[in-house]
Amino acid sequence: MEINPEKQLFFDRLSPDWDYSHDQVKMQRISRLFRKYAPQMDAPVLDLGAGSGVLMPVIHDRLSSGSQFNISADISLSMLQQSRVGQTIAGQFNLLQADGHFLPLRDASLNAVVCFQVFPHFEHKDQVLAEISRVLRPGGLMLVMHLMDHHGLNALHAEAGRAVCNDRIWPATTLAGHILQYGFKNEVVEEKSDLYVIRSRRLETV
Ligand SMILES: C[S@@+](CC[C@H](N)C(=O)[O-])C[C@H]1O[C@@H](n2cnc3c(N)ncnc32)[C@H](O)[C@@H]1O
Separation CA 3–CA 11 (nearest Å): 12
Evaluate: CB of 59 within 6 angstroms of ligand 1.
no
Cβ(49)–Cβ(117) under 8 Å?
A: yes
User: What pTM was computed for the model?
Assistant: 0.95
CB distance 54 to ligand 1 below 6 Å: yes
Given pLDDT bands bounded at 50, 70 and 90, which one contains residue 66? low
Query: pLDDT tens digit string along 131-156?
Result: 999 999 999 999 999 999 999 999 99
The answer to whether 103 and 125 have CB atoms below 8 angstroms apart is no
* pLDDT surpassing 80 at residue 205: no
**Read out DSSP for 121-168?**
G-SSHHHHHHHHHHHEEEEEEEEEEESS-HHHHHHHHHTS-TTTTT--
Q: Is 78 in the pocket of ligand 1 (CB under 6 A)?
A: no
CA pair distance 205, 203, nearest whole angstrom? 5
| Percent of the chain residues past pLDDT 90, beyond the cut | 81
What structural domains and CATH numbers belong to the chain? 5-15+41-202 (3.40.50.150)
Q: Whose CA is nearest to atom 12 of ligand 1?
A: 49
Residue 176 near residue 150, CB atoms below 8 Å: no
pLDDT confidence tier of residue 65, bands split at 50, 70 and 90: confident
Residue of minimum CA distance from atom 23 in ligand 1: 49
24-188-59-47 Cα dihedral, nearest 10 degrees: -110
Mean pLDDT, residues 46-54 taken together: 95
Nearest CA to ligand 1 atom 11: 49
* C-beta 121 within 6 A of ligand 1: yes
Which pLDDT value is given to residue 13? 92
CA 90 – CA 177 distance, rounded (Å): 35
Going from the C-alpha of 193 to that of each of 7, 147, 150, 187, the distances in angstroms are 26, 8, 8, 20
Test site for ligand 1: of 2, 3, 4, 11, most ligand atoms within 8 A of the Cβ:
11
Q: How far apart are CA 54 and CA 85, in angstroms?
A: 11
Q: Is 76 in the pocket of ligand 1 (CB under 6 A)?
A: yes
Instruction: State the Cα torsion 111-115-78-158 to the nearest 10°.
Output: 170
Residue-wise burial string across 97-130, b where 16 or more C-beta atoms lie within 10 A, e elsewhere: bbbbbebebeeebbbbbbbbbbbbbbbebeebbe
